[in-house]
Structure formats: C-alpha cells, structure tokens
Amino acid sequence: MPTSRGGGGQEHDQPTILHRGAGVGGGDSGDNKGGPRQWWVPGPVVVGAGPSGLATAACLKARGVPSLVLDKDSCVAASWRHRTYERLRLHLPRCFCQLPLAPFPPGTPTYPTRDQFVAYLDDYARAFSIDLRLGARVRTAAYDAAIGFWRVTVDEDAEDGGATATEFVSRWLVVATGENAEPAWPEGVEGMDGYRGVAMHTSSYKKGDEFRGKNVLVVGCGNSGMEVSLDLCNNGAKASMVVRDKLHVLPREILGISTFGLSVFLLRWLPIKRVDSLLLFLSRLILGDTEKYGLARPKTGPLQIKSSTGKTPVLDIGALRKIKNGEIKVVPAIKRLTENGVEFIDGHKEDFDAVIFATGYKSNVPSWLKEQEFFSHVDGFPRKPFPHSWRGKNGLYAAGFTRKGLMGTSYDALRIAGDIADQWTEAFCEPHCY
Ligand SMILES: Cc1cc2nc3c(=O)[nH]c(=O)nc-3n(C[C@H](O)[C@H](O)[C@H](O)COP(=O)(O)OP(=O)(O)OC[C@H]3O[C@@H](n4cnc5c(N)ncnc54)[C@H](O)[C@@H]3O)c2cc1C
C-alpha cells in the first residue's frame, strides 16, 4: 500500500491512524464482496498534498489532531514539481508564501526558485510527520447522512498494474485539490485537430531550449504567458504572444520594495481606489505607457480587479523590455489554427512550429465531490468568497480556494485546524456525562 509519512516518499507499511472496517457501514475489506476496502480515519481526510493540504495537516498536528492526506500523485507538491516550468520562481516574496509554523530556511532568496519551494514543502511534510497516502486519486467523496460521515473513494495503483478501490470514512473532509488542478484549454479552437505543429499547455512546458530557433506562439498574457514568452526569447526562440484582453502589468518591485508588499502596507491606511491610483502612477513612471506596446490597461485598477474577480495583475520580471524592443511580438486573438500555424482575427496568417496555451487552470472539485451547496458545480470553487470560503456543512472544509495565493492557504489552514481541533477536543478529550 503506498503510504508514507513526511515528504519525498519514505514508505511505511501501515498508516498509523487507520482502522480497518471498524464498524463503519459494517464493512471490512476482507469480505466486502467485491466492493472497495474500507478504512475508518479517526481524524480528517485531506484531499491534496500541495501547500494547502500540507499546511492544514501540519496545523492539525500542532493542535493534536491526526489526519490522513491523500494525493493522486506519487509525491507531495506535485503541481509544483511536475506541472511548472523550470525557470519559475515564486511571484511574491517568500514572507508572503511561507506556510504556518515553519519559515523558509535561512539563506532562501526573496523570490525562491521552484526547486527551493519544492524542497521547502518536502521538508515541511517531513518535519510535521504528515501521514500521506500517495498515488491515491479520489474518485468520489460524498456525505453519508445516515452515519454522519464522509465516504471518500480512492483509486490506487495495484501491484499487478491495475487499480484497486479503497473507501476512507471520516467525520471531516478537507478539500485541498487546488484552484489550479487541471489545465484550462480555450473552448472550441477551430482547426486544433488539423494543426501539425506542437500544441501544448503551459502546465507541460518545461524550458525554452527545446524551442531554440523555432517560431512559437504563446496564447495568453497572464504571468505564465509572459514568463514563458520571456523564457522562449532567452533560449533563442522567436516568441509571439496573443493579447486579447486589457491587462495590468506592474513592476515586480517599486524602489526595491515588492509591489505586493507595498500594496498590502498601503491598504492598511488607504482605500483600495487610492492605492490603485498610486500603483498605476508609479508603474507608469517605471514601465512607461504599456498601451503603446499593445498592452492596454483596464479602467478598473489592478487591486480592485483582483478583489472582485480574483484575476492577478502581471508582475513583470523582464518580458516587457522584450516586448518594447520587439523580441516578443504582441499579436491579436486567434481565429483558428491552420495546418502549419494560425489565422488571427484580423485575417493575417502566420506559420508557427508550436502553439503554447497559457490559458490558465481550473478546479477539478465538481468531477469528484458529490456536494453542490458549498462548492459551485460550475467553477468548482466555494460559493462564498474569502473570508467565508473555508467552512461548509457536515464537517466539509476548503483549503486554498481564496484566490489569494499562499497567504490564503495559511489563513484557511489555521482556521480549519482550529475549528476541527475544537470538535476533536470536545469529542475525545472532555469528560462526558451520560
Ligand atoms: C505558475 C504558478 C505560480 C504561482 N506562484 C505563486 C506565488 O508566487 N505565490 C503565491 O502565493 N501563489 C502562487 N501561485 C498560486 C498558488 O499558491 C499555488 O498554485 C499553490 O500551489 C496552491 O496550492 P494548493 O495546495 O492549493 O494546490 P496544488 O499545489 O495544486 O495542490 C493540489 C494537490 O491536489 C492533488 N489532487 C488534485 N486532484 C486530486 C484528486 N482527485 N485526488 C487526489 N489528489 C488530487 C494534486 O495532485 C496536487 O498535489 C502560483 C500558481 C501557479 C500556477
């Protein structure tokens, strides 16, 4: 059984907190007549071993509550390890990205690299001895009102190469599968099937040197689109970037202070509109008029957009300079893919060796969670926005769905752990009078 404790993937024979059968639903895996094997988990089941799941498990542990963390991949931090590009660094300074109870180690740069962040998460899981069940893809999770428990069905790789089903039964379910669980492809791109070049999503992009000397189109101009375009350029590819909508580009730092940190500080004293005006004024001084280069700004300010839609402004780490000097070409939206390239909405056609879709990600919660009151089945996010997005009914929780990055993750982890710990103490530690 692929269970392990801590980071990386140390194997343990048995998870310490599982009790087979244990009377829940009367099932014991041994003679369950072809149904899934059943395990009762005394503490919460946490789905997802990314930063949000690990932080929640660590905070629970610190409050004396055991939990079991499930992940479909064979390691912790799989999104960062396997679905990001090599040159990625945290977009925000490390002080806004560290998880509760454990700062980054001394010597970590202000913007940790992907590998440094992954190592931090491995160490984090190890330091808190988090109980992990890896290679365990949650197929369904549903609340069984008859017994007042969540039933979480998991597909696990079996030794014979097939898959076995296991059901975990727990009083609490923490959803930590991430805002970015699946790549989001644009809908109905005409000609995709007939395109003979490489078509990929940024989640599979690793590094630019595979594209040296190639003509590459990047579809999308958020942080990923900008960074991939920059990486392509730095590795000798010819990059074009589709800019369809208006967007805010801000410098990553203003006078040596992180733009994000400055915003957080100013918001303590000033209304959001005033902070936006100030940010835009300073950005114009530092970056110039981005509209001149095909990057028109929306009328609403960057922080107001972030707060109302969750859409993050681009924090420039060098792509804008390449756009200004023409190394990255800004192009309009695509109408369709042709056999060898693309036809744009303005009618002009161009050949491309590769088209990389930097079109974002989506939640996968609706595909497995049988619950629609707390989580929306449309976008897979909690229906109530931050700060009310962390707790549903019947022991259901959401960690990492605040649209506020890792700061939101920390907030959720602490709140969830506190809430469950109170119930745990009441149920198991306080004397009861019968
Ligand atoms: C390119 C990029 C850069 C970012 N940079 C920053 C930054 O600098 N600062 C910041 O604050 N935020 C940043 N974010 C946003 C966010 O903080 C990260 O995406 C972070 O990884 C979210 O953590 P998470 O644990 O919620 O989700 P994830 O890291 O995605 O972890 C979710 C886990 O759930 C598992 N899973 C999914 N479905 C199932 C299932 N059905 N069964 C079992 N397991 C499942 C996945 O394998 C994964 O391990 C960035 C996001 C991206 C995409």
Give the type of residue at 223: N
Helix 259-267 crosses helix 272-287 at what angle (to 10 degrees)?
A: 150
CB 73 within 8 A of CB 154: no
Q: How far apart are CA 143 and CA 352, in angstroms?
A: 49
CB 180 less than 6 A from any atom of ligand 1: yes
Distance of CA 312 to the CA centre of its chain: 14
User: What pLDDT is recorded for position 144?
Assistant: 97
> Distances from the Cα of 190 to the Cαs of 124, 182, 193, 333, 339, in angstroms?
45, 21, 8, 13, 11
- Count of C-beta atoms within a 10 Å radius of residue 146: 7
Q: What 3-state class would DSSP assign to 276? A: helix
For 399-426, how does the pLDDT look when each residue is reduced to its tens digit (9 = 90+)? Answer: 999 999 999 999 999 999 999 999 998 8
Question: Cα(48) to centroid of ligand 1, in Å?
Answer: 9
> Distances from the Cα of 242 to the Cαs of 331, 373, 389, 417, in angstroms?
5, 37, 33, 43
DSSP secondary structure, 216-237, as one string: EEEE--SHHHHHHHHHHHHTT-
Q: Which residue minimizes the CA distance to atom 13 of ligand 1?
A: 405
The secondary structure element, H or E, covering residue 417 is helix 405-424
CATH class of the domain whose range is 184-360: alpha beta
Tell me the sheet residues that pair with 329: 240
Question: Cα(241) to centroid of ligand 1, in Å?
Answer: 25
CB 380 within 8 A of CB 364: yes
Q: Is the pLDDT of residue 385 over 60?
A: yes
Pocket test for ligand 1, best of 86, 177, 386, 403 (most atoms within 8 A of CB): 177
Give the type of residue at 219: V
Pocket test for ligand 1, best of 52, 79, 133, 402 (most atoms within 8 A of CB): 79
Q: What is the DSSP secondary structure assignment for residue 385, as one 8-state letter?
A: P
Question: Cα(400) to centroid of ligand 1, in Å?
Answer: 8
For 43-96, how does the pLDDT look when each residue is reduced to its tens digit (9 = 90+)? Answer: 999 999 999 999 999 999 999 999 999 999 999 999 999 999 998 999 999 999
User: What pLDDT is recorded for position 353?
Assistant: 98
For 140-173, how does the pLDDT look when each residue is reduced to its tens digit (9 = 90+)? Answer: 999 999 999 999 999 987 777 777 899 999 999 9
For the CA atoms of the chain, what is the radius of gyration? 24
CB 428 within 8 A of CB 81: no
Q: Is the pLDDT of residue 113 over 50?
A: yes
- Taking the alpha carbons of 319, 320, 324, 330 in that order, is the dihedral positive or negative? positive
Question: Cα(120) to centroid of ligand 1, in Å?
Answer: 14
Q: Where are the beta strands (DSSP E) in 195-351?
A: 198-201, 215-219, 238-242, 249-251, 253-254, 257-258, 314-316, 328-331, 334-337, 341-344, 349-351
Q: How far apart are CA 101 and CA 79, in angstroms?
A: 22
What average pLDDT does range 261-280 have in this prediction? 96
Pocket test for ligand 1, best of 180, 311, 370, 389 (most atoms within 8 A of CB): 180
Question: Cα(273) to centroid of ligand 1, in Å?
Answer: 30
Confidence (pTM)? 0.91
Question: Cα(365) to centroid of ligand 1, in Å?
Answer: 13
Q: What 3-state class would DSSP assign to 136? A: strand
Pocket test for ligand 1, best of 153, 406, 412 (most atoms within 8 A of CB): 406
Atom of ligand 1 nearest to the CA of 154: 42
| Domain spans in the chain, listed from the N-terminal domain onward | 11-181+363-429, 184-360
The maximal CA–CA distance of the chain, rounded, in angstroms, is 79
Question: Cα(368) to centroid of ligand 1, in Å?
Answer: 17
The strand pair at 19-20 and 37-41 is best described as: antiparallel
CB 392 less than 6 A from any atom of ligand 1: no
Pocket test for ligand 1, best of 72, 75, 368 (most atoms within 8 A of CB): 72
Q: Is the pLDDT of residue 369 over 90?
A: yes
CB 400 less than 6 A from any atom of ligand 1: yes
Q: Is the pLDDT of residue 320 over 80?
A: yes
Question: Mean pLDDT, the chain, as a whole number?
Answer: 91
Query: Pick from 189, 198, 235: which is nearest to 352 by CA?
Result: 198
11-181+363-429 matches 184-360 in fold: yes
Question: Cα(215) to centroid of ligand 1, in Å?
Answer: 30
Q: How far apart are CA 238 and CA 216, in angstroms?
A: 6
pLDDT category at 432 given cuts 50, 70, 90 is low
Question: Cα(402) to centroid of ligand 1, in Å?
Answer: 12
Q: Which residue minimizes the CA distance to atom 33 of ligand 1?
A: 48
pLDDT category at 181 given cuts 50, 70, 90 is very high
User: What pLDDT is recorded for position 188?
Assistant: 82
User: What pLDDT is recorded for position 310?
Assistant: 85
Q: How far apart are CA 395 and CA 397, in angstroms?
A: 7
Q: Is the pLDDT of residue 300 over 70?
A: yes
User: What pLDDT is recorded for position 433?
Assistant: 52
Q: Is the pLDDT of residue 31 over 70?
A: no
CB 138 less than 6 A from any atom of ligand 1: yes
User: What pLDDT is recorded for position 5?
Assistant: 59
- Count of C-beta atoms within a 10 Å radius of residue 337: 22
Q: Is the pLDDT of residue 26 over 70?
A: no
Q: What 3-state class would DSSP assign to 104? A: coil
Topology of domain 11-181+363-429 in CATH is: FAD/NAD(P)-binding domain (3.50.50)
Question: Cα(52) to centroid of ligand 1, in Å?
Answer: 8
What average pLDDT does range 337-341 have in this prediction? 97
For 198-251, how does the pLDDT look when each residue is reduced to its tens digit (9 = 90+)? Answer: 999 999 999 999 999 999 999 999 999 999 999 999 999 999 999 999 999 999
Question: Cα(4) to centroid of ligand 1, in Å?
Answer: 20
